[in-house]
Structure formats: structure tokens, C-alpha cells
Amino acid sequence: MQDYQAPADLLKGRIIVVTGAGAGLGRAAAKAYAEHGATVILIGRTQSKLESCYDEIVAAGHPEPIIVVMDFATAPEGDYANLRDRLEETFGHLDGILVNASVLGERKSIEQTNTKSWMDLMQINVNSVFLLSKYLLGLCKLSPNDTSVILTSSSVGRKGRAYWGAYAVSKFATEGMMQVMADELENTSNIRVNSLNPGATNTEMRRTAYPAENPSSNPKPEEKMNAYLYLMGPDSIGINGQAYNA
Ligand SMILES: NC(=O)c1ccc[n+]([C@@H]2O[C@H](COP(=O)([O-])OP(=O)(O)OC[C@H]3O[C@@H](n4cnc5c(N)ncnc54)[C@H](OP(=O)(O)O)[C@@H]3O)[C@@H](O)[C@H]2O)c1
């Protein structure tokens, strides 16, 4: 998968949602999907970051994306329903969803973790994934194409590690959600659901988690995009319920 070479028109005409599209891996994925022909729905909490991603995609001559400002920490359920209605009205269906937005939260032992910060992280990293799936899977079912849902995981969501607290537990939940949805949708729809652990990547989150590390010792987000393209495009048809590393 790391060596995958995506054809230039891999995602031509496809409509793909990317959460956390303003920075880091989500931004790189949104740009890579647009470069390969997709119309991308850029979702995130900071309008200026989404606008600069939008500007770069348009300046490169790729399909014009749309911006949806949404803070998963505070968005009520009605906002997810409105998002579905807006996307259905504009596009009629979806061909893919990259669930990417997450926060790192406190790096403390379970005993020392502040209860509110635990709950806040779960709202962003877990509950929003449920709400996005609940409201947007129906639009994937309306697609005339194969569709792919990618949930972003982490190595600490596959084997627990001390002091990774709520973040690690949220990624275990992400893996669980991936398995449940993949099993529910197997044989009954055109939708495949997989998880992807990008591995150490030079982003704001990584720099915060490892302040003593030389940031440039890790690959840039753009260097991880082969896996993101492979799992989103039709070359991964038939792969469902799998946990991948980029
Ligand atoms: N980087 C790594 O080494 C690494 C390793 C394993 C897994 N991952 C996973 O990869 C994914 C991307 O991480 P990253 O490293 O690219 O992190 P990042 O640079 O911190 O980017 C996270 C993105 O999520 C958005 N976001 C955070 N909270 C949000 C909220 N409440 N509502 C809406 N959007 C929100 C951020 O928006 P703002 O920019 O506006 O804050 C940002 O665009 C995450 O799921 C992370 O767990 C990363």
C-alpha cells in the first residue's frame, strides 16, 4: 500500500468528505483527493485554515471544494442532520468519507486525568464519528459508485500504552466502530469501512505529543498519501473491516 501509485484520475467525479481538513494529515488528504479529481467537502473548526486549503486546491486547478465549519466539541446533533441535508441537496450522494479530526488531550495516567477533559475528548474523537456515520452513511448508500469510509486510528488504539489515556481509548473505540460498521454493511451495500493508522507524521499533534523529538525526523503528511489514496479509490474494492498502517 505504501508503494501504491494512484492513477491521475483515481477519484474523478467523486464527492468526498474530509474532517479536520484545515491542517496536518487531513489537509494533505483533502489536497491529494482533489488532485486526483474529487470534489472535497472540507470540514473543520477553523475557518481560516479551511479557506487556505480551499484556495490552494482552486489555485492548482482542481475541482472546487466546499467548506463546512463545524466544531465537533460543541456541534449539536441537528448540525449533523443539517450537514446531511445540505450535502444531499448539493450532490445527491457521497462517494467517500475520511474521518480524520481528532485531539490528543491530556497525556496523564487514568487516575490523574481530568474528568471534563476526558469527556471533551470523547465528544470529538468518538461521539462525532458516531454522529457523522449515523447521518452520512445513507448518502454513501445513494452513490452510484463503490464508496469508502476511512476511520483514522493510531498505534495506541491497537495496543494500549501508559499515559496515552483518553486518546488511546478513543482510538480503540474507533477500531470498534470500524469493525461494527464493516460487519453491518458487508454484503448489503457498496460501502467498505476500514481504519488507517498514519504512523508518526510531522504534524502539530505529533509535535505536541513528542516535544523533545526533532520534527523533521518524521515524514511529512504528503509522504503518507499513497495509503489514503489506495483506501479511498476503487483499487481497494473488496477490502472491508481491515486495520491498516500507512
Ligand atoms: N501525526 C501523527 O503522528 C499521527 C499518528 C497516529 C495517528 N494520527 C491521527 O491522524 C489524524 C490527524 O492527525 P494530525 O496529526 O494531522 O493532527 P493535527 O495536525 O492536530 O490536525 C487535526 C485536525 O483535526 C481538527 N480538529 C481538532 N479538533 C476538532 C474539532 N473539535 N472539530 C473539528 N475539527 C477538529 C483540527 O482543526 P484545527 O487545525 O482547526 O485545530 C485539525 O485540522 C488524527 O486522527 C490523529 O489521531 C496522527
The per-residue pLDDT for range 186-228, each reduced to its tens digit, is 987 799 999 999 999 999 999 999 999 999 999 999 999 999 9
Q: Whose C-alpha lies nearest to ligand 1, atom 20? A: 205
* Residue 172 domain flag: yes
Counting ligand 1 atoms within 8 A of each CB, the residue from 50, 104, 205, 245 with the most, and so the one to mutate, is 205
Counting ligand 1 atoms within 8 A of each CB, the residue from 102, 121, 125, 153 with the most, and so the one to mutate, is 102
Q: Whose C-alpha lies nearest to ligand 1, atom 6? A: 154
Q: Three-state SS for 97?
A: strand
**Which numbered atom of ligand 1 lies nearest the CA of 171?**
47
Q: What is the CATH number of the domain that holds 38?
A: 3.40.50.720
**Which numbered atom of ligand 1 lies nearest the CA of 205?**
20
Candidate list 167, 210, 228, 244, residue with the active-site label: 167
Tally of helices (H runs) and strands (E runs) in the chain: 8, 7
Distance, CA 23 to ligand 1 centroid (Å)?
Answer: 7
Query: CB-based burial of residue 55 (10 Å sphere; 0-12 exposed, 13-18 middle, 19+ buried)?
Result: exposed
* Residue 6 domain flag: no
* Residue 8 domain flag: no
Binding-site residues, ligand 1, Cβ < 6 A: 20, 22-26, 44-46, 49, 71-73, 100-103, 124, 152, 154, 197-198, 200-201, 203-206
Structure confidence by residue, pLDDT tens digits, 146-166: 999 999 999 999 999 999 999
* Residue 10 domain flag: no
* Residue 106 domain flag: yes
Q: Whose C-alpha lies nearest to ligand 1, atom 42? A: 20
Q: Are residues 89 and 142 in contact, defined by beta-carbon separation less than 8 angstroms? A: no
Q: Sign of the C-alpha dihedral, residues 103, 107, 110, 113?
A: negative
> Could you give the CA distance from residue 31 to residue 222 in angstroms, rounded to a whole number?
9
Clarify whether 167 is annotated catalytic: yes
* Residue 9 domain flag: no
pTM above 0.85, yes or no: yes
* Residue 205 domain flag: yes
> Could you give the CA distance from residue 216 to residue 87 in angstroms, rounded to a whole number?
38
C-alpha cell at 48: 481560516
In tens digits, the chain (246 residues) has pLDDT values of: 778 999 999 999 999 999 999 999 999 999 999 999 999 999 999 999 999 999 999 999 999 999 999 999 999 999 999 999 999 999 999 999 999 999 999 999 999 999 999 999 999 999 999 999 999 999 999 999 999 999 999 999 999 999 999 999 999 999 999 999 999 999 877 999 999 999 999 999 999 999 999 999 999 999 999 999 999 999 999 999 999 999
Distance, CA 101 to ligand 1 centroid (Å)?
Answer: 5
**Number of structural domains the chain divides into:** 1
Distance, CA 102 to ligand 1 centroid (Å)?
Answer: 4
**Which numbered atom of ligand 1 lies nearest the CA of 73?**
31
Range of the domain at 199: 15-245
